[in-house]
Structure 1
C-alpha cells in the first residue's frame, strides 16, 4: 500500500522553542504503521499569513493555533478551513469568545463547580463609540461599587474579563484599593471575584488532548521558577478532581490545548482561570515538564491525523447539563459523569490503544532527543534569546539542572 503523508500546520506568533522541538520530534518519529497496514508520515509546516480565497483548499489536515486568539485574519482562516474543509483544530475558533473568561465562568458555575463568587461590573470610562453616551444616559443604571464589593467580601480580586498573563489583575483589600483599581481599569471590562484565602496549593494543569499534567504553581515567583518540581503536592482525590475539571472544560468548549488554574484548600478545588487560548509551553517556563508537553503534543496530533479523527464543531451541551441538573447525583457523582463525557469526547480508550500499538517508541524518541546535543543547542539559543547576556550562564545552569533532573527521573 502507498504511504500516506499528513501535513500539520503551525500557526505561530513570537515563539520558536517548542515549534522547533515539535518539528524535530516529528522528524525523529518518521513513519507510523496504522491498523490498516499503511504507513503514515507527518510533516510540520509553519503557516504564513496571506490573502485566501474562501474556496481554496488547504494543504493541512490539522493546525495547531497559537495566534488567532488576537490576530483576526488567521482566525477567520481557521473558521473557513474548519467549516469548509474539515481541517482538525486543537482549539475551536467558534468558542473563542469563551476564552474571554466570562462565558467559561458561567458554564462551570452552571455545572456546579466551586468557582469563587464573581460579579461583572460596567466599564469605568466610556467606550470609543459614538452611540455610547446616548445608550449610557438612557439605560446604564448607577451602581454602588463599594456595595457590590461588600456583597462579595474582602479580600477580592479585580481582573479583566478577557485577561491573560496576569495583566490588570489586582488584589483588593479595602475600599481605597477598590477605587484605585477601578479608576485604573479605564475601558477594560472587569470582574470582581472573591479571593480563596488560606489555600494550600495553587495548581496549574496543562492539558493536551486527553493528557493532563498538574503542576505546582507559584504565581508570586519569577517565570523561570513558577513551576515547582513536586510530584506529591496534592491528595489523590484533589489531584483527580483537578484533572477532571481540566478535561471537562476542554471537552465542553472543544479546546484541546489549554491550561487550568485551581486553588486547592483541603480537598476542595476552586477553579479560578481555565480559558487560555495560548497556554504557556515555553521551554524556559516549563523546563522539567517541557519533555512531557512535547510528548503529549506529538502523540495527540499524530493520533488525530493517522486515525482520521474528525473535529466536532457542535458543542452538545445538553449532556453536561443533564448531569448538572440530576438531583440524585452528589457532587462527586457529577464529576464522574463529566469525566465520562470528556473521556468519550477524547476517545481515551482508543487513544491509549493506538499509543500502545503504534507510538510505543515515542518515550524513547523524546528521551534520546532531550539527551542529544540538538536539544542542548536549542536550550542555549532559547536562553540567549530570552535573557540579557550577563544572565546567560546563570540560566543555562538553572535550566540545564532541571532538565538533568528530568533525565535522571526517567530511570534509563
Structure 2
C-alpha cells in the first residue's frame, strides 16, 4: 500500500479536500492522509510514496525532514532541494534567458549589515552603488520587493528616487529587488500542476485581498495561448510540480511578474469554488500519478530543465571509457612490438 501525505500549517480547506478527493477516487493500492511525524532518523524511510509540501518554507525542521524523505525515495511536491536554492531574482534571469518577458529588475544589497558582518565584509562592494544607471534602467514609478519570499510582504510602490532612498532605509537586512512597474490592462494568476496543466484566473492585485479574484479581465484566445505557453515553460525549466505564475499584460505582451509561489493560496474562501474545484481535482490526480510511478529507494523528485542540462557530447559510456583510458594508458608502438616478439 502506497501512502500520499500532505504537510501543511494553518490552512484548513485545501488539505482536507485534497485527502478526501484522493480517497474518493480510491486508486488501487493508494490512499492519502495528513503527514504524521514522531521521529526523524537519518536515512530512514518516511513511509510515504508522495508528500505534498505546503509549509516547509516557514518551518526549517520540515524542510530538513523532506530532504531526508526524498533521499529515501519519497516523491516530494515540490522538490525541497530546488525550493531551497531558488529565488525571485534568479527566476527573472532564467525567464529572460528562455524568452519569457519580465520587468526590468535589479538586485540591491541590504540596507542593514547582515548579522556577524562588518563594513570590512563588503570590500568587493562599490559604495555608493551606481544609482543613476540603475534608476535609468528601471525607471519610475517602480516597485521594490524582497528577492525571496512571497505573500505581498515588504512590497513598496516608489514614485521617484527620493521615495526609493527613504523606503529602502526601512528594509533592514532584507535583500531587495527594484523592479519596473508594468502598467497593466489585464492581470492573471495561473496555477500550474505537474508542469502540464494550467488554470488561468483573472486577478487584480490592486483590489483588497478578499476581492482580488473578483475580476472580469477577458483576454483574447491568442493571449491565453501565449500565457499558457509561458507558464508551462517557466515551470518546466524551474521544475515546480505545484506553483502559480502572475501575469501582467501591457498592450498584448504578457509579463511574468511573480512565479516563485510553490505553496500558493488554495483556500476556497479566497480563490472561490470554481478555482478550488480545479486545483483539488488536478492536484489529487497528479499526486496519484506520482505515487504510481514512485520507485522505493530511488530519486523520485522533479528536476527542472535548467538543472537537467548536461553537455550533449558527453555520455556516461564516454566518461567511463576516458576514465579507463587514464588508468590504462596505451602502450607505445615500440613496447607493442616487443610484446609481439
**TM class by shorter-chain length?**
0.7 to 0.9
Note closer, same or farther for the CA distance 1:99–1:281 as it changes in structure 2 (3 Å cut): farther
Matched residue, 1:21:
17
User: Does 1:160 pair with 2:156?
Assistant: no
SS of the aligned residue for 1:43 comes to strand
SS of the aligned residue for 2:272 comes to helix
2:277 corresponds, among 291, 296, 299, to 291
**Greater relative CO (CA pairs within 8 A, separation 6+):** 2
Encode CA deviations 1:311-364: one digit per residue, 9 max, x unaligned: 345444388899xxxxxxxxxxxxxxxxxxxxxxxxxxxxxxxxxxxxxxxxxx
Matched residue, 1:52:
40
Following superposition, the deviation at residue 26 of structure 1 comes to 2.3
Consecutive unaligned residues in structure 2, runs of 5 or more: 312-341
Matched residue, 2:256:
271
1:19-168 aligned within 5 A: 19-30=15-26, 32=27, 40-83=28-71, 85-129=72-116, 131-136=117-122, 138-142=123-127, 143-145=129-131, 147-168=133-154
Contact 1:158 1:169 in 2 (8 A): yes
1:208 corresponds, among 193, 202, 226, to 193
Structure with max Cα Rg? 2
Q: In 1, Cα distance between the equivalents of 2:151 and 2:304? A: 27
1:180 corresponds, among 151, 161, 166, to 166
Q: In 2, Cα distance between the equivalents of 1:128 and 1:49? A: 33
Q: In angstroms, what is the RMSD of aligned CA positions? A: 2.3
SS of the aligned residue for 1:251 comes to helix
Consecutive unaligned residues in structure 1, runs of 5 or more: 33-39, 323-412
1:192-341 aligned within 5 A: 192-197=178-183, 199-209=184-194, 210-228=196-214, 230=216, 233-288=218-273, 289-308=275-294, 311-312=300-301, 314-317=303-306
1:373-388 aligned within 5 A: none
Q: In 2, Cα distance between the equivalents of 1:24 and 1:313? A: 25
Note closer, same or farther for the CA distance 1:221–1:117 as it changes in structure 2 (3 Å cut): same
User: Does 1:189 pair with 2:185?
Assistant: no
Matched residue, 2:324:
none
TM-score normalised by L of structure 1: 0.69
Contact 2:241 2:302 in 1 (8 A): no
Following superposition, the deviation at residue 113 of structure 1 comes to 1.7
SS of the aligned residue for 1:317 comes to helix
Encode CA deviations 1:24-47: one digit per residue, 9 max, x unaligned: 2223222x3xxxxxxx14322222
Q: In 2, Cα distance between the equivalents of 1:318 and 1:87? A: 20
Note closer, same or farther for the CA distance 1:75–1:318 as it changes in structure 2 (3 Å cut): closer
Encode CA deviations 1:204-243: one digit per residue, 9 max, x unaligned: 101122211101111122222211365x711112211211
Q: In 2, Cα distance between the equivalents of 1:270 and 1:59? A: 41
Structure with more helix by fraction: 1
Note closer, same or farther for the CA distance 1:229–1:135 as it changes in structure 2 (3 Å cut): closer
Q: In 2, Cα distance between the equivalents of 1:320 and 1:236? A: 33
Q: In 1, Cα distance between the equivalents of 2:251 and 2:310? A: 27
Contact 1:92 1:253 in 2 (8 A): no
Contact 1:75 1:93 in 2 (8 A): yes
Q: In 2, Cα distance between the equivalents of 1:300 and 1:157? A: 36
Q: In 2, Cα distance between the equivalents of 1:273 and 1:10? A: 25
Count of paired positions: 305
Q: In 2, Cα distance between the equivalents of 1:161 and 1:275? A: 10
Contact 2:19 2:34 in 1 (8 A): no
Contact 2:79 2:303 in 1 (8 A): no
TM-score normalised by L of structure 2: 0.83
